[in-house]
Amino acid sequence: MLVTCECQHLKQEMKCNASKSSEGNSKKSIACDEECARLERNRKLALALNIDPEAHRDDHVPYSSDTLKMFRENVKWSQEQEREFRVFAADEAEKRLRFKPMPSHQRAFLHSLAEDFGLDSESMDPEPHRHVAVFKTPRFVMAPMKTLQECVRIRLNAEAAAASLLEDQRRLRSNNEAFNGFLLKHPRFGLTIEELRSELSTQFQYTPGLAFDISFLPSEEIVIKAKPATSSTNISASSIEAAIKAMKPSVLATISTKRFAETCQMCSSDASLNILRRGFEDESATDGWSRVAAKAIAPRSATPQRGVGEKSVYTVLGSKLKDAKRKKEALERARAEETLADDWEEEARREEMEAFGATELPADTKAAARTELLG
């Protein structure tokens, strides 16, 4: 029979020992330990704060993948061995647990489970009496809070969620729904529909047969969906997709300049604004317009860096202007020196008059001076 404590946390197998005159161990119970007290405190705290413990369980799995794999191969037998481990872990007086002889694949499960519990294990005796002994060492603290069955359920749910996500992505990638709008991811904080419509009004005017609805999705994305302008207007899905592709460069430029969102891609949505198809990274890479903010922030040209000891362009330009000015002044002085009086004889005569201090030179002096100048 299985004997438990009052909180049902500790369990221990005992012989019944019941008889006609004695109830044996049928009403016997185990005393709760410190772990039971901790769990009781957490339960009372959860009740006081109105917290659902089932909704706040983490998805951590304290067992190895090999342990879970072997557990799933033989669930009933593995649960019996796990129960033995938990009873042994809860009994502070017990330091060693010996299992009966068993095949090698079952011993492998016991070794793996002992490692997960923080216990040491060892196989003893030769075949066919080979069995596993488990020991408590200082590295052992306590048994894992989650059972193997709970962890298998957590792992299966995670695998199912991952498979569902992959299936949704595959379905979206293989969907042939025509694009009928744009999807803005991670929009700017405080962006309004009126502001977005005002900035994109010019692009909307180029498609007179279409009207555009702008809506916020629960995922905090913004969808700009195209539809016929009137109920009597008949426009095919392929025509709408062609118009969306034609608008794409101008819409991208506006969103990039205004920095309305981090990314923008074409999309297909139904009447309930469920996204049926997205322009994925590999698809948008061919037409070069998946990333918006990166292109808007990046500078068009790199600023040239000046090397060590290299003069600034302004310094070089100023020195060149000064050199040109000096050359011009020297040229003007040279031209002034080269300019001679038209009447060089009159100039020579004037110089002689200044030398002799007279206003008019004698005739013989004039002749001598003329002869000297000509000679």
Is 263 within 8 Å of 293 (Cβ atoms)?
Answer: yes
Q: How distant is the alpha carbon of residue 56 from its chain centre?
A: 26
Q: What does the pLDDT look like over 211-251, one tens digit per residue?
A: 999 999 988 899 999 988 888 888 888 889 899 998 898 99
Q: Is the pLDDT of residue 55 over 70?
A: no
Angstrom distance (rounded) from CA 13 to CA 167? 47
Amino acid at 336: A
For residue 37, give the nearest of 29, 28, 45 by alpha carbon. Answer: 45
pLDDT at 338: 57
For the ranges 6-10, 111-115, 205-209, which has the lowest average pLDDT?
6-10
Of the ranges 18-27, 91-100, 116-125, 231-240, which one carries the lowest mean pLDDT score? 18-27
DSSP per residue over 189-258, as a string? TT--HHHHHHHTHHHHHT-TTEEEEEEE-TTS-EEEEEEESSTT----HHHHHHHHHHHHHHHHHHHHHH
pLDDT of residue 323: 75
| Per-residue pLDDT band at 279 (split at 50, 70, 90) | confident
Q: Mean per-residue pLDDT for 145-159? A: 89
pLDDT band at 123 (very low <50, low <70, confident <90, very high): very high
First to last CA, the chain: 153
Q: Given this model, what pLDDT does residue 296 score? A: 45
Report d(CA 208, CA 213) in Å as an integer: 14
If DSSP codes are grouped into helix, strand and coil, which group holds residue 80? helix
For the record, the structure tokens of 260 come out as 């309305």
Please say if the pLDDT value at position 2 is more than 80: no
3-state secondary structure of 106: helix
Q: What is the mean pLDDT of the chain?
A: 78
Q: For residue range 295-345, what is the model confidence (pLDDT) as tens digits?
A: 444 444 444 545 444 454 444 455 666 777 788 888 887 776 655 444 556
pLDDT of amino acid 301: 45
* Cβ–Cβ under 8 Å, residues 98 and 131: yes
**Is residue 207 over pLDDT 50?**
yes
Residue 67 pLDDT more than 80?
A: yes
Q: Which of 197, 253, 258, 250 is nearest to 222 (CA)?
A: 197
Mean pLDDT of 100-127: 93
Q: What angle do CA 319, 322, 323 make, to 5 degrees?
A: 90
- With 0-12 / 13-18 / 19 or more C-beta atoms within 10 angstroms meaning exposed / middle / buried, residue 163 is exposed
Alpha carbon distance 359, 98 (integer Å) = 147
Q: Is 60 exceeded by the pLDDT of residue 194? A: yes
Express as a percent the part of the chain with pLDDT over 70.
73
